[in-house]
A = this chain, B = another copy of it.
C-alpha cells in the first residue's frame, strides 16, 4: 500500500519557538511584531482545534479561520500539519514546565513543598486548557512518537525525578512512613493526573473537587493534619 504519511519527520530546523509576548490587539506595529502576533494567534487557534477534534479530524481551514488568517499563512510559520502539532506541544508545554520547575525555596516541611506544588498544578493545569492538552497528548501520543518522547523526556521523567527527590527528603525527615513510596513517585501524582482526565471527560457528569481530593491524598501519605 502506498502508505505515505507514516513518516513523522523531525521538526524542520528552521522554526523559531517563542510564543509572542503581546497577545492583545493593536493593529499598528512593525513587521516582525505583527508576524509574531499572527504566529501566536495560529498557535492559540490550533491548540483549540486540536483539543476539540483531535489531530486527524482537525482541518487547517478551521485553524486559519479561527486565527483570522488565510490558510497559506499557516505555511509561512509551520512546515506542515504534523510538525505544527509537534511544535504546538513544545510551545505550550515548555513554559508550564519552566514555571512549575521554579520551585519555591525549600523552606517549610516537605508536605508544604508538595502542597505548594499541587496548588500550582491545580491552578495551572487541572480544569484548564492545558489540562486538555495533557489529555490530547495521552490521546495522540502513540501516533506521535516524537510527541510522546518529548513529553516523557521533558515532563514525565523530570516530574518523576523531582517527586522522588521530595519523597526521599520526606522519608529522611520522618514525615513519610512508607519507604517504598520512593520507588513509585507515580503514586504521588496519580490522583492529580486522574483529576486532569476526570475534569476533561466527566466534569459534566460528576464534577470533582480536585483540591479537596488532593488534600485527602496528602493526608494519606503524610498522616492527617491537625488543622488547616
Contacts and interface: CB of A to CB of B under 8 A. Distances in A.
Contacts of A205: 149, 152, 156-157
| Chain A at the B interface: SS class | helix
A143 interface: yes
Contact of A213 (B139, B184, B217): B184
A11 interface: no
Interface in A180-211: 180-181, 183-184, 186-187, 189-191, 193-195, 197-198, 200-202, 205-206, 208
Contacts of A100: none
Contacts of A127: none
Interface in A102-152: 135, 138-143, 148-149, 152
A221 interface: yes
A54 B56 contact: yes
B54 A143 contact: yes
A53 interface: yes
A101 interface: no
Contact of A220 (B55, B178, B193): B178
A194 B143 CA distance: 19
Given A181-B216, A184-B191, 7 more contacts: A52-B142, A152-B206, A156-B202, A157-B205, A178-B216, A180-B216, A186-B213
